[in-house]
Structure 1
């Protein structure tokens, strides 16, 4: 957490607060985690976009007018527990001051990262630099996905690499594989399996975006938006977090295993491992 649906919801929620505003200063006490942020001081936020699980704030000179190219990008990765808040809290790590107000970045587990870079210069962020197509855009094609899946290793680990498709993390990999009836450890998907998974990913991700993402548990790291609202897609989970509960398709108990060092949920009846 958060994955693409949570990051996209975050982008949509904070865009009205930040787009067009001038960054006066960015305060934090961890320059190794929030790199080169002083370069953003005095810059205007032209746009807020997203790539996979990353937020990209496009910055230009404060006095720039019209559709001028952006000069810098402020990249924000929310990590496991990062999120924006209107009020400062005990887990606030970064405070963003603009000419219109203040927005705080909270991160209880401290895995979030910020960096100001030249546009497209992602060499220091290899995952972002090598990321696959967006699952809900035309660039994510069934033909290319089916071809790549024919030689993949364990399919869930492959999805989590972000190379075949961007933004699919632990939750939505489990949900997509359940919907496609594919075992998470299956390798070398045949065309029928890969086709089912392609459509399952698109369906799951669109549903999660529409629901504002998933909010899990009640702890300080529970995903929620700057206005305190939680996501609702957790009420539509069929696999993730449902260990020992009956599969909603066949009634078999959902199992949990560790795959690629990640907890993985699946139905042993509906998602059999093919020889």
Structure 2
């Protein structure tokens, strides 16, 4: 599933191409991807509306319309957004097409059909998408060790599981939790309530540094993004532990180990990330 850096990449590519355009027509071929309201109402309400901006919240994307309404989108596992010319080859699992006043189309495709759209009015409380339950943005200035310790410090759960809790920190998933813990030299199975003050401080430093690093590494041109059909995330060559179980640690040479924590795989270095 795309995590915060990948969603930020999608936003940075898509927003400049759709900002200031008007949605002339919308076609939904798979009604279930419109979670709220109905597919027909979704199409009716956004038609003729001008797109003002696009933003990200955790792993969600939001398209803001001129009347204050907002389209919320979660890509889930295989969702993809593309801005294409009308004659660009249609991907097999394209479920939503928005025809824009600039002559381009905003297309949403999703092989596994888990991605979802919501459309909320300007004064409507979001009790549908779950975005209102998200925790702090890890790139915010007020994200710090005190916040982490206050929310996780009494938990007996493994710190790996804690970092995946979207109600506390928005946007971190399986990939970057491994990378963050490796950078912070913390064993992923360590109980959160056993972390020291220095551990919390290192985590608070490494989380935004790691995420910003991968946002930078994921940068891609609009042309290359379209050519790769939005699937060419460029983080893989820079991952130090995720996906590298059985290989030497890039820091000490010890063999990286894969384990399962809370039903999720985790890769770590038993030497650099010793358990207390």
TM-score interval, normalised by the smaller of the two chains: 0.7 to 0.9
Q: Does 1:22 align with 2:22?
A: yes
Residue 241 (structure 1) aligns with: 243
SS, match of residue 186 in structure 1: coil
Question: In the aligned structure 2, how far is the partner of 1:7 from the partner of 1:121?
Answer: 23
Residue 115 (structure 1) aligns with: 118
Taking the TM superposition and a 5 Å limit, the aligned residue runs for 1:191-206 are 191-206=197-212
TM-score (norm 1): 0.86
Q: Displacement, 1:213?
A: 6.8
Residue 189 (structure 2) aligns with: 185
Residue 46 (structure 1) aligns with: 52
Q: How many residues align?
A: 255
Taking the TM superposition and a 5 Å limit, the aligned residue runs for 1:143-162 are 143-152=146-155, 153-162=157-166
Q: Displacement, 1:2?
A: 0.6
Question: In the aligned structure 2, how far is the partner of 1:22 from the partner of 1:227?
Answer: 25
Q: Quickly say closer, same or farther: Cα 1:134–1:78, change in 2 above 3 A.
A: same
Higher helix share: 2
Question: In the aligned structure 2, how far is the partner of 1:6 from the partner of 1:26?
Answer: 26
Residue 232 (structure 1) aligns with: 234
Q: Displacement, 1:25?
A: 2.5
1:187-235, CA deviations, whole angstroms, 9 ceiling, x for partnerless residues?
Answer: 1122111111111111110101111179xxxxxxxxx833427333221
Q: RMSD of the alignment, in Å?
A: 1.9
Q: Displacement, 1:19?
A: 0.6
1:162-186, CA deviations, whole angstroms, 9 ceiling, x for partnerless residues?
Answer: 1232111111101001111111121
- Structure 1 unmatched runs, 5+: 62-69, 215-223
Taking the TM superposition and a 5 Å limit, the aligned residue runs for 1:128-139 are 128-139=131-142
1:96-139, CA deviations, whole angstroms, 9 ceiling, x for partnerless residues?
Answer: 2111221211211222111101346321123x212112111213
SS, match of residue 270 in structure 2: coil
